Amino acid sequence: MSNCDSCASKDGCNNKENCKLEDNKMKPKYGEIKNIIGVISGKGGVGKSTVTGILAIELKKAGYKVGVLDGDITGPSMPRFFGINEKRAEMIPLSKTDVKFTPVETKMGIKVISMNLLTKVEEEPVIWRGPVINGALNQIYEDTEWGELDYLLIDMPPGTGDVALTVMQNLPVKSMIVVSTPQDMVSMIVKKIVIMIGKMNLSILGVVENMSYIRCGNCNEKIRVFSKKSAEEQAKYLGIPLIKEMPIDLNLTESLEAGKVEEYIGSTTQYEDILNKIKFEL
Ligand code: ADP
């Protein structure tokens, strides 16, 4: 059934072109996903995967069914984030041409799929050209047994190139969250992403400014390490709302190294406000 067939206002609908575009987007074969959110940044190392992971845990804490698609095929990091890098996703052959992937569930029950869960060992590199990577990403999204999900978060491929374009064009992404750090050079590159998302007619929820400050252990003062400009100023430059300022958090780093990030985020309330702008009607 097409979106227009199921749409209550189809008689008075003046948006049939959009419905058609939505209809052409890929749907997962083994599950129903209510909302797909992309987490994106133009630059590596700013904390895109960290924000994706924190968001997934906070959504799970709030009672939603959550999945994570690691869209970074050549530099995947979500399995390490959740401490599930020793596990393997199952690849179940259904016919000569069809296969189904079973995501790995974290301790909290977040369903994660990543190229690093599909290779024999996590160190195995993926040495493919763009079109092959695109095909792999589409297939992983389509052929994973997601079951019913309220939210699928996509840790978006880096840059404004081929792979990011594929996700934006082919997958029914509801909205994007942009991740930046308080450095002019980073904001300039992140702005390219914001413009790209606009050109693709996708919506942006806002920007998470990561590594905004450290908190002084003695006086509790916020010290902005990278820039004197405020997070609001950076968001204004990007032309999108500020979702959250995230500090450099040593407890987070330690819990990541120990594979215990879910326990840590589960025990603190400091990241919960990241959900403020992203709860859609389900
Ligand atoms: P990206 O996905 O943008 O490449 P990552 O999320 O992998 O970046 O983060 C890069 C590194 O920085 C990781 O080792 C991560 O643990 C660390 N990191 C990210 N954000 C923070 C933070 N707010 N506090 C402490 N460490 C962080």
Domains of the chain: 28-269 (3.40.50.300)
Query: Which among 48, 50, 183, 265 is the best mutation to test ligand 1's pocket, defined by most ligand atoms within 8 Å of the CB?
Result: 50
Res 17: pLDDT: 58
DSSP secondary structure, 238-271, as one string = HTS-EEEE----HHHHHHHHTT-HHHHHHH-STT
- Residue 167 is labelled as binding a ligand: no
- Residue 46 is labelled as binding a ligand: yes
**Helix H segments across the chain?**
3-6, 16-23, 48-61, 78-82, 115-118, 130-143, 162-170, 184-199, 231-238, 250-257, 261-267
**In the predicted structure, residue 16 carries a pLDDT above the cut 60:** no
**Spatial contact of 234 and 54, defined as CB atoms under 8 Å apart:** no
Res 2: pLDDT: 43
Residue 268's φ and ψ, nearest 5 degrees, are -120, 150
Ligand 1, atom 11: closest residue by C-alpha: 45
Ligand 1, atom 18: closest residue by C-alpha: 47
**What CA–CA distances, in Å, run from 48 to 10, 132, 166, 209?**
38, 23, 18, 10
Query: Which among 68, 209, 244, 253 is the best mutation to test ligand 1's pocket, defined by most ligand atoms within 8 Å of the CB?
Result: 253
More confident residue, 163 or 117: 117
Ligand 1 centroid from CA 161, angstroms: 22
With bands split at pLDDT 50, 70 and 90, how would you rate the model's confidence at 11? low
With bands split at pLDDT 50, 70 and 90, how would you rate the model's confidence at 6? very low
Helix (H, G, I), strand (E, B) or coil at 147: strand
Rounded CA-CA distance 69/157 in Å is 11
**Spatial contact of 231 and 186, defined as CB atoms under 8 Å apart:** no
- Could you tell me the two tokens for 116? 């690093």
Res 132: pLDDT: 81
Res 192: pLDDT: 93
**What CA–CA distances, in Å, run from 120 to 109, 116, 169, 204?**
23, 8, 30, 36
pLDDT digits (tens, 9 = 90+) for 199-219: 999 999 999 999 999 988 889
Radius of gyration of the chain measured on its C-alpha atoms: 19
pTM exceeds 0.85 for this model: yes
- Residue 217 is labelled as binding a ligand: no
Q: Which amino acid would we find at residue 187?
A: S
**What CA–CA distances, in Å, run from 12 to 2, 8, 126, 162?**
16, 9, 49, 37
The reply to whether ligand 1 has any atom less than 6 angstroms from the CB of 253 is yes
Q: For residue 40, list its beta bridge partners.
A: 178
With bands split at pLDDT 50, 70 and 90, how would you rate the model's confidence at 81? very high
Sheet containing strand 145-155, strands side by side: 104-105, 111-113, 66-70, 145-155, 30-40, 175-180, 204-209, 242-245
pLDDT digits (tens, 9 = 90+) for 24-61: 899 999 999 999 999 999 888 899 999 999 999 999 99
**What CA–CA distances, in Å, run from 63 to 57, 151, 173, 267, 281?**
10, 11, 21, 15, 14
Ligand 1 centroid from CA 7, angstroms: 42
**In the predicted structure, residue 1 carries a pLDDT above the cut 80:** no
